[in-house]
Amino acid sequence: MSPYETLKLPHQNGTAIELRPMLPEDARTLRMLLSHPQVKAHIVMRPGGSQPAFMDRLINRMLYAIDHSALHAGIYRRGQQELVGTVSLQNWNRQECRAILGYMVDPKWWGHGYATEAVGLLLNYAFQELGLKVIEGRCRGDNTGSERVMLKNGLQLERTVPIVASGGDVMKVFRLCYTNEIMPL
């Protein structure tokens, strides 16, 4: 695999969900998900530029796999066509075999275990098929649901860092290494 090759996650079947590439017709649902106040509060979007333009670029990257340093998949309930969330590897460094985990689920589906199962499927694929050695996950200090998802999938809290200009909020950083060797940041 070339370090510049874009990649789509092959279809992954779980117990309650499926991971598969998102389709152009998922753009509207994806936009609503990214704009949902309960989801948006936990997403760190890069500053600068207009938010609509940034969101358009982000949606295109997620739908069309045009970013070689990311791998995005849609989360769908088994046998259904409705997109209920996404899971991804971001900032994927192929030389160092590491990436950052990202996921979001529509709040109407929170508490069903979909994020936990989706993260488990993606981690298995990342370690077994892509050869990743380290995956890091992050969440805001008050996002206990996301913290539980990562802990259930074997990630361990590594550090807590203050979020600049946030009024005291922190970012929790979790890590999972495929080998017993802890790799330096």
> Which tens digit of pLDDT belongs to each residue from 120-160?
999 999 999 999 999 999 999 989 999 999 999 999 999 99
Distances (CA, A) of 15 to 79, 112, 113, 129: 11, 12, 10, 20
Most confident of 5-19, 38-52, 171-185: 5-19
CA distance 6 to 69: 8
pTM score, whole prediction: 0.88
Q: Which two tokens stand for residue 13?
A: 């079947």
Distances (CA, A) of 8 to 50, 71, 133, 169: 28, 6, 19, 34
Given a cut of 50, whether residue 100 has pLDDT beyond it is yes
DSSP 8: -
Domain 12-132 in CATH 3.40.630.30: yes
Domain residue ranges of the chain, discontinuous segments joined by +: 12-132
